[in-house]
Structure 1
Amino acid sequence: MPDSEISFFEAAEKGGIAVLKQSLQDGTDINAVNRQGRTAILLAAMNKRYEAVQFLIDSGADINRQDQTCFNPFLWGCLNDDLTLVKLMIKAGADLTLMTRFGGVGITPAAEKGHVDIVRELLETTDINYNHTNFVGWTPLLEAIVLNDGGARQQEIVRLLLKHGANPDMTDKYGKTPLTLAKEKGYQQIADLLVAGGAS
């Protein structure tokens, strides 16, 4: 890797906009990748260098390019509960159909992890597919139930998904509905929300 690219990536990680600007003027490829397949904008995003992220957006960086583990700035923000980053990426026109290595779209890991603010933002400001099924056969609604503790954050995510039109009867690959799974796990509050949301 050329020294110019190394300094470009380091500047992205540290939020060094002056160095980023000079590197681009010197001919560094804005979409160059490191050994992990990460671009400068992803490195800036992972380190919460929002001004550098915005600078790279404005300079024409490919915001959708994914690294070797399928991360790009939008998906990273969704998984790591970084609402500032997610908002930046939505505003910049992020491709909401790109998937994580498990086949989920951005709302999938956000629902699983209990990131209420991310889920709310995606449902209220984008047309992301909230009924998307990932590689293991789970929708965001199923993920919110199966892969967490059934607590207050998960209840709020279930409520938000149902309010915005998530299908309460889409089953997992074994034919189990969200309501069946909620009852199996003893999540009565979630079961009640599903019934109120029209689950059969």
Structure 2
Amino acid sequence: MTESFLPATPTRPAVVVRRSKKRHRTLSARQDGDHVLVMVPWGMDPDGERRKVEKLVTTLLNRRRRYTATTDEELMERADRLARSYLDPVVGSRVRPSSVRWVTNQNHRWGSCTVRTGQIRLSARMAGFPRWVSDYVLLHELCHLVEPNHGSRFHELLSRYPQADKAEGFLTGWSWATSMGGTDGGVGTDAMDPAPADID
């Protein structure tokens, strides 16, 4: 395995390009602290590698920018909508968090809820995930405001979300793929094909 380093520019953070003999066709990129880590196949044509790395980094950064456009205020509005739709009618009272924020320090869970303060935090690793997946995680944390543990009442509340099974499957699949070295938690493309301009 070899690495090269591309210094930061005014429009992007530093990039570490890691070449691996285990990779045969695919490239992937993910934010790794203050730099972007790009995994590429060993022995790739240097000109092709440079073009694909730049395109993949641009795609990743554009996706991150779209994600950061969701402000904390918008997250609170989503929490309000989800609670009104799935919790308030069953609980018989208004379920609202004191705050909802994106955080970058949750690398082992998708979200957290501090019941005592009503604060909900969502992992920034969900950047670029479909809205129905992040809504599921947000609703999961909202359910903790009603039921702090994962008992039967908690699961009964969460199961009211129509896409709960689908979202759980998405998160499980993403976690498995990441643990196997598939997605690296970022974006990827096939080294033999041009990178898509917009990955959703």
Query: Do the two structures share a fold, i.e. TM-score over 0.5?
Result: no
* TM-score relative to the length of structure 2: 0.24
Indicate the structure whose relative CO is greater, using CA pairs within 8 Å and at least 6 residues apart.
2
Q: Where is the strand percentage greater, Structure 1 or Structure 2?
A: 2
